[in-house]
């Protein structure tokens, strides 16, 4: 059974082309959103989730990165939802904790079909990474992805820095994406044949 999806989303602000293979060969290629750090995070998602991803985006970066990052997350969520199909046989629930030096992040996933997102990260991280990634967008990216993938997602930064030190925004955000990748990897695994719900549908 092929668990792949190809989503093309075009608006007056962006053009997004996303391909995902949930049972990939560990080849994340051709990720180009025009936002360097965002590309780096999407590579983490593919690499540590074991998904094959192809993402090509043209956005109104002359304004800012908001529309580009948001619409990419929407299309990626739609691709995951389509690739999962009726979710027969999936594990459904999974969690993962990932350290990145001084940072510890945890992601918990339920492929419930009911979009919900809880997000906790430090309020005092730097407002920008490089010149094009507003750190305030991380929550919105995760929220947009969860809503359109139709999953319940909790992402929490359990530790952001050693005592007396200021959080490193790069590490704080990267640990979240890696934790999400691992939780999705485990939740989307095939572990049977039935739909894992007493309702008979997800």
Q: Is 81 exposed, middle or buried (0-12, 13-18, 19+ CB in 10 A)?
A: buried
> Residue 162: pLDDT above 90?
no
The reply to whether 200 falls in a domain is no
Q: Does residue 100 sit within a domain?
A: yes
Q: Give the range of the structural domain holding residue 45, as residue numbers without chain letter.
A: 4-188
* Structural domain includes residue 47: yes
Give ∠ CA 29-30-34 in degrees, rounded to 5.
135
Mean pLDDT for the stretch of residues 160-165: 90
Residue 1 has pLDDT above 80, yes or no: no
The more confidently predicted of residues 198 and 28 is 198
Residue 180 has what pLDDT?
A: 98
Report the 3 state secondary structure along 24-46: CCCCCCCEECCCHHHHHHHHHHH
User: Per-residue pLDDT tens for 151-160?
Assistant: 999 999 999 9
Total structural domains in the chain?
A: 1
Is the pLDDT at 27 greater than 80, yes or no? no
Domain membership of residue 74 (yes or no) is yes
Residue 198 in domain:
no
Q: Look at residue 164 and tell me whether its pLDDT is greater than 90.
A: no
CATH label of the domain that carries residue 17? 3.30.230.40
Half-sphere exposure of 110 (CA within 13 A, CB side): 12
How confident is residue 30, by pLDDT bands cut at 50, 70 and 90? confident
Please give the share of the chain, as a percent, with pLDDT higher than 70. Answer: 99
Does residue 55 lie in a domain region? yes
Give domain status of residue 82, yes or no. Answer: yes
Tell me the C-alpha distance between 69 and 34, whole Å: 9
Does the pLDDT of residue 23 top 90, yes or no?
A: yes
pTM of the model: 0.96
| Tens digits of residue pLDDT in 81-124 | 999 999 999 999 999 999 999 999 999 999 999 999 999 999 99
- Is residue 28 over pLDDT 80? no
**Mean pLDDT rounded to a whole number for the chain:** 96
Q: What is the pLDDT of residues 34-52, one digit of tens each?
A: 999 999 999 999 999 999 9
Does some domain include residue 147?
A: yes
């Amino acid at each position: 059974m092929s668990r792949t999806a190809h989503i093309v989303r075009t608006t007056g602000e962006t053009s997004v082309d996303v391909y995902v293979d949930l049972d990939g060969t560990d080849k994340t290629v051709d990720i180009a959103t025009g936002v360097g750090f965002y590309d780096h995070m999407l590579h983490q998602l593919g690499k540590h989730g074991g998904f094959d991803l192809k993402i090509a985006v043209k956005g109104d970066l002359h304004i800012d990165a908001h529309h580009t990052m948001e619409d990419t997350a929407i299309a990626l969520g739609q691709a995951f939802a389509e690739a999962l199909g009726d979710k027969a046989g999936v594990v459904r629930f999974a969690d993962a904790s990932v350290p990145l030096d001084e940072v510890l992040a945890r992601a918990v996933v339920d492929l419930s079909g009911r979009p919900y997102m809880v997000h906790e990260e430090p309020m005092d991280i730097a407002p920008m990474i490089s010149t094009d990634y507003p750190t305030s967008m991380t929550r919105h990216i995760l929220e947009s992805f969860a809503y359109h993938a139709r999953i319940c997602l909790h992402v929490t930064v359990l530790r952001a820095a050693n005592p007396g030190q200021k959080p490193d925004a790069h590490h704080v955000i990267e640990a979240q994406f890696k934790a999400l990748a691992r939780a999705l990897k485990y939740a989307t695994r095939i572990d049977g044949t039935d739909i894992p719900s007493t309702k008979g549908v997800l």
